[in-house]
Amino acid sequence: MARRVVVTGLGLITPVGNSVESTWSALMNGQSGVDYIKKFDTEKFSVKFAAEVKDFDPLKFIAKKEARKMGAFIHYAIAAAVEAMADSGLALNEAGRFPDGVAEQAGTYISSGIGDFWAIEREHSKLLNEGPDRVSPFFIVSAIVNLAAGQVSIRYGAKGPNSATATACAAGAHAIGDSFKIIQRGDADVMICGGAESAITPMSVAGFASMRALSTRNDDPLHASRPFERDRDGFVIGEGAGLMILEELEFAKRRGARIYAELVGYGMTADAFHLTMPDETGSGAIRVMTKTMKDAGIAPEQVGYINAHGTSTPYNDKFETLAIRKTFGDHAYKLAVSSTKSMTGHLLGAAGGIEGVFSVLALHRKVLPPTINYVNPDPDCDLDYVPNVPREAEVEYALSNSFGFGGTNAALLFKRYEA
């Protein structure tokens, strides 16, 4: 029988808050983190806004000398890991690391869609303008995707699995789901897992804008991210990190851990359809949700809430709605669906990380976060999207969807934990 896996710690750095409590409070107040870009001059850009992390100081978490060796996505990951580890109450030795015996069974799995785009752009500019000798010796280790997991592993002495995926907007969910399976099969007792991203850069914004993937609501950025709403016109790029501590149930119980929820299902599928557009039949999304419920051994009627991928793009929201209807049948109109991207923007590879945390909190605190900026219903999107205000609800199972470019899909299923 597969080992049971529970969530014991949470950590967040998001466009609406630099902690779990500040972020959750913002969600409950329907607060948007979208504003005009402060990181670079957008005068020549067709899109001038994003969901940036605000008032974040990496030196609160990392020594200055070490912080210079890291990209911003690693800074965010470490800050979220510090909060999640403290929240979990896991005992560390005097050096702040896992003690012998536990270290070998503790792992890190922190994914990113891109890694540190800032480092890539900065060092490329040095190469062109100052020559190859001016490129930083820390360029590679500050930019590559797996160094968030690597740095957290080093910080806590976690000697178990150490991995990362670069599966676009499904990366954070894949990290949590893969960690779930690692613990289930006995390769670790503890995993620090989730996603981190820092891709609000000139090249990134220009590239996504060129694809016509971004909202162009420059006159009203606060209301630009409007998932499932009739007048949606694209996603809003965001940044940050969302991590959780997963533990094997008996390991957590032996140490008297506070348990937020149980992770009971995980699925992965491919659309095999298009580079960027979701399958218009919803096939990939249908199969990933179905596989996830089968993995958990539950019926569709038991799911009460879905934290949707809900990007605020015309095609994604239409086809995700279609997939939910086909997967759940009549029950689709009885469950609640919301997109927290209406407030946080789309954190790319970190989206599945923060939205996994939101799904856990929805179960634990018995309240569902809303979809804000929902004004005009779309006939193609006809489900209950928890419009504009949070809703108290005692839900037993919450599903979190994440879909990425290249047709990669992931879903996570959490269950309310009762001792």
- pLDDT tens profile 143-184: 999 999 999 999 999 999 999 999 999 999 999 999 999 999
- CA pair distance 91, 38, nearest whole angstrom: 39
Q: What are phi and psi of 30, to 5 degrees?
A: 65, 35
Number of helices (H), then strands (E), in the chain:
13, 14
237 shares a domain with 273: no
390 shares a domain with 328: yes
- CA pair distance 406, 28, nearest whole angstrom: 33
Residue 1 confidence (pLDDT): 74
Q: Which residue has the higher pLDDT, 276 or 51?
A: 51
Helix (H) or strand (E) holding 402: strand 397-404
Residue 277 confidence (pLDDT): 79
Q: Residues 324-346: what's their mean pLDDT?
A: 98
Q: Do residues 377 and 269 touch, judged by C-beta distance below 8 A?
A: no
Q: Residue 338 sits in a domain of what CATH number?
A: 3.40.47.10
Neighbours of 159 (CB within 10 A): 18
302 shares a domain with 385: yes
288 shares a domain with 219: no
Select from 225, 254, 283 the last residue of a domain: 254
Residue 372 confidence (pLDDT): 98
Q: Do residues 231 and 376 touch, judged by C-beta distance below 8 A?
A: yes
Q: Residues 58-70: what's their mean pLDDT?
A: 96
Q: Which two tokens stand for residue 268?
A: 């992965």
Residue 38 confidence (pLDDT): 98
321 shares a domain with 249: no
Q: Which two tokens stand for residue 46?
A: 């067709």
> In this structure, what DSSP letter does residue 222 have?
G
pLDDT digits (tens, 9 = 90+) for 201-254: 999 999 999 999 999 999 999 999 999 999 999 999 999 999 999 999 999 999
Catalytic residues: 169, 309, 346
274 shares a domain with 221: no
Structural domain for 320, as ranges: 263-416
Residue 415 confidence (pLDDT): 98
CA 353, chain centre distance (Å): 3
Residue 280 confidence (pLDDT): 85
Looking up tokens 């592993």 gives 153
Residue 337 confidence (pLDDT): 98
Residue 275 confidence (pLDDT): 84
> In this structure, what DSSP letter does residue 323 have?
H
395 shares a domain with 284: yes
Q: Do residues 200 and 237 touch, judged by C-beta distance below 8 A?
A: yes
216 shares a domain with 351: no
Select from 230, 254, 278 the last residue of a domain: 254
298 shares a domain with 178: no
Q: What are phi and psi of 69, to 5 degrees?
A: -90, 0
206 shares a domain with 90: yes
Q: Which two tokens stand for residue 291?
A: 């596989």
Mean pLDDT of the chain: 97
Per-residue HEC secondary structure of 28-79 comes to: HCCCCCCEECCCCCCCCCCCCEEECCCCCCHHHCCCHHHHCCCCHHHHHHHH
As for how many domains the chain has, the answer is: 2
Q: Do residues 260 and 16 touch, judged by C-beta distance below 8 A?
A: no
Select from 254, 289, 317 the last residue of a domain: 254
Looking up tokens 């690391």 gives 97
Q: Residues 338-350: what's their mean pLDDT?
A: 98
297 shares a domain with 231: no
Listing DSSP states for 225-252 in one string gives: --TTBTT---B-BB-EEEEEEEEEHHHH
The yes-or-no verdict on residue 265 having pLDDT over 80 is yes
Q: What are phi and psi of 194, to 5 degrees?
A: 150, -150
Q: Which two tokens stand for residue 64?
A: 């200055």
Residue 389 confidence (pLDDT): 98
329 shares a domain with 288: yes
Residue 309's pLDDT band (cuts 50, 70, 90): very high
pTM of the entire structure? 0.98
